[in-house]
Amino acid sequence: MAFAITLVEDDIRACFRYSLGGMNLEAFVLGSGGMMPLPYRQLTSMLVRREGELFLFDAGEGTQVSIRRLNLRWKKITAIFISHMHADHVTGLPGILMLSSQVDRQEPLYIFGPPKLADYIDQNRRILDMYINYDIIVQEISERTTVWNGEGYSIRAFPLRHTKMCFGYALEEAPRPGVFYPEKAVSKGVPRGPLWSELQSGKTVQLSDGREVHPSEVMGEPRSGRKFSFVTDSLYFPEIAQEVSNSDLFICEGMFEQALIESAVDKRHMTARQAAQIARDAGNVRQLGLIHYSPRYADRELKVLLDEAREIFPNTVLTKDRMCFPIEFVD
């Protein structure tokens, strides 16, 4: 489950005080605009924090500013995922790389994205004579693939349809063990203590009399993990829904209103209504956050996008810069 919190400038408490039951997965909107920055709207970027790890999705102009205003620790950014090589999605990247050197980063920084990403980074390092005191590991991708495997979760890239090669991303946690029932363990003769912990971690245990007790005998069905999906800069096509199904939070571009669908198609973008259609058709999407708005819309004019999306998918919100989405377990 996800809900949105707009953090006031300089509010360094971030999401923690709003979390329910020890929240450890949060998504921050660093920029919600497309094409060009506005005084109150930086270019598209999202940051996801999971168990202390930070993952950056796109790095539009102004990314550093929002990171500072949210008091997020850019030194802890583990990996960066770039959707495509257009300026409004990568111009914040050189500053992030230089900034990380200034905070004495020791760990390598992994960066994933489409072809020409490595060349873009190399040329910026050379032309700007960047001082980089840590390893940068760039992996270019050209097809659907799992780009990151962590403990209990993974991040997958999947192709979109834009004017150049473009990818969406989904961070998905592995299923969690089911609920442990102490009364069932007692009835099986399992003594309280370490054996209970082993059963809860999914291990079969052996009792003193030689009998084995399996986790399935004392625990409920596995429970789902959480999922965050990020899609921006693409024509609408129905297969996107398969990639983002079961998302607790689905961040998707809604650049234009439906009256401008011809312009959206010509520029290979989506309308807010089409984003909502994907959320509806995907199944089990809990919340849709629109992003990457055309600069033609001032904040007060974004309501037309929200209204059109909610006609199709009611649980839709407009993302705004420095908004936070705590993503909680459903059960």
Indicate whether 200 pLDDT > 80: yes
Residue written as token pair 């924090």: 49
Q: How far is the CA of 232 from the CAs of 89, 206, 321, in angstroms?
A: 10, 51, 16
Q: Considering 88, 233, 248, 321, which one is annotated as catalytic?
A: 88
> Which pLDDT value is given to residue 274?
98
Domains defined along the chain, listed by start: 5-176+223-326 (3.60.15.10), 182-217 (no CATH)
| pLDDT tens figures, 43-78 | 999 999 998 899 999 999 989 889 988 988 777 899
Q: Do 145 and 113 contact (CB within 8 A), yes or no? A: no
Q: How far is the CA of 286 from the CAs of 83, 235, 255, in angstroms?
A: 23, 23, 21
What would the two tokens of residue 75 be? 């030194």
Q: Do 318 and 2 contact (CB within 8 A), yes or no? A: no
More confident site: 26 or 62: 26
* Active-site residue flag, 10: no
Give the gyration radius of the chain's Cα atoms. 22
> Which pLDDT value is given to residue 102?
77
> Which pLDDT value is given to residue 268?
96
Mean pLDDT of 269-281: 98
